Amino acid sequence: MGIVVQKFGGTSLRNINKESDFLIHVKREVQIGSKLVIVVSAMGRGGEPYATDTLISQLENISTIINPKKKDFIMSVGEIISAALVSHLLESEGLSSEALTGFQAGIITDDTFNSGRIMGINTNRIQRYLNRNKIVVVAGFQGATENMDITTLGRGGSDTTAVALGGYLNAERVDIFTDVPGVAIIDPRIVPDAKYIKKISYDDMYRLAIDGASVVHPTAVLLGKQHNVPIRVLSTFMDSSGTLISNDNSNSDIIGFGVKKHEESSTVSLIFNSDYRNSIINKLDEFLSEEEIVSNIEYFNDKISLTVKNQVFIEFMKRLHDNFF
């Protein structure tokens, strides 16, 4: 079997223990003989002890004027703690493991602190451990400059770490585990019964991501396309096949909805296959003829953007979703 990279987000790693759901996915991959690299985010979300926002607040409590290099220094800690705990848990389960910081994993970035760009990855150390049948646990979201200053990769940085490692290691695929069972037509927190997408191309996923679909970061999608490494998005907490992102195009007329929230309004982008543009515009115009709450509409070749006030946003999105699906 080849190399598989698994990435686990903060909600997947809450209260790490022998009953943690992520262990099911790790053990399943080990049992079929894959060489496994695990990329981890900081545990939990804002307000929890090791979440990135909590760590930043420790600096802000002293002064809100923060040197970007020092901010990266503290922001990297959450992922390192996760890597140590996950690796220790795997060892306690009889699975030989090594934990690495981003720099120890060979990730070299430019010197743009707080939003570094990966310049290259020396995978020799990871390959040595894999050849010794060890699971390698890598702290996501981070790397280091050639001068060995710690950097972080910006929002979605652990996704970026996972896909970049998958590319440089020639992995069979990268699995991104999260708290939803894949990529939905629209954020299921907005429309709970939204349909999930079984497969989507890199290009279409990128279009969704840059227009507000936050389940995978756009940079990670671009890296997947660059290295031609398949990406699966799936849930840590249920058994599902998730969404496969690859070169394989979907034949769907509508790709999905992207949402960008602003202070008083939201921009909703209906993203579609340009071959169906006229029919989709006609259907949308018919729907909007009964709506009086859209303040602006912009038409593009492969998407339509609508501006809606936040007070009526949820109900509007439910009606829009039901109209098309």
Dist CA 11 CA 25 (whole Å): 15
> Can you give the pLDDT at residue 44?
77
What is the per-residue burial (b if ≥16 Cβ within 10 Å, else e) of 300-324?
Answer: eebbbbbebeeebbeebbbebbeeb
For the CA atoms of 153, 155, 156, 157, the dihedral, rounded to the nearest 10 degrees, stands at: 10
pLDDT per position as a tens digit, 234-260: 999 988 889 999 998 777 888 999 999
Rounded mean pLDDT of the chain?
93
Q: Which of 163, 274, 178 is nearest to 229 (CA)?
A: 163
Beta-ladder partners of 294? 308
- Sequence-separated (6 or more) residues with CB below 8 Å from residue 267: 212, 259, 260, 305, 306, 307
Residue 310: what are its φ and ψ, rounded to 5°? -65, -25
> Can you give the pLDDT at residue 136?
98
End-to-end CA distance of the chain: 40
pLDDT per position as a tens digit, 119-161: 999 999 999 999 999 999 999 999 999 999 999 999 889 999 9
Domains delineated in the chain: 3-178 (3.40.1160.10), 254-324 (3.30.70.260)
User: What single letter denotes the amino acid at residue 226?
Assistant: Q
pTM here is 0.93
pLDDT per position in the chain (325 positions), as tens?
799 999 999 889 988 889 999 999 999 999 999 999 999 999 977 678 888 889 999 999 999 999 999 999 999 999 999 999 999 999 999 999 999 999 999 999 999 999 999 999 999 999 999 999 999 999 999 999 999 999 999 988 999 999 999 999 999 999 999 988 999 999 888 899 898 999 999 999 999 999 988 889 999 999 999 999 999 999 999 888 899 999 987 778 889 999 999 989 999 999 999 889 999 999 998 888 766 788 889 999 999 999 999 999 999 999 898 888 8
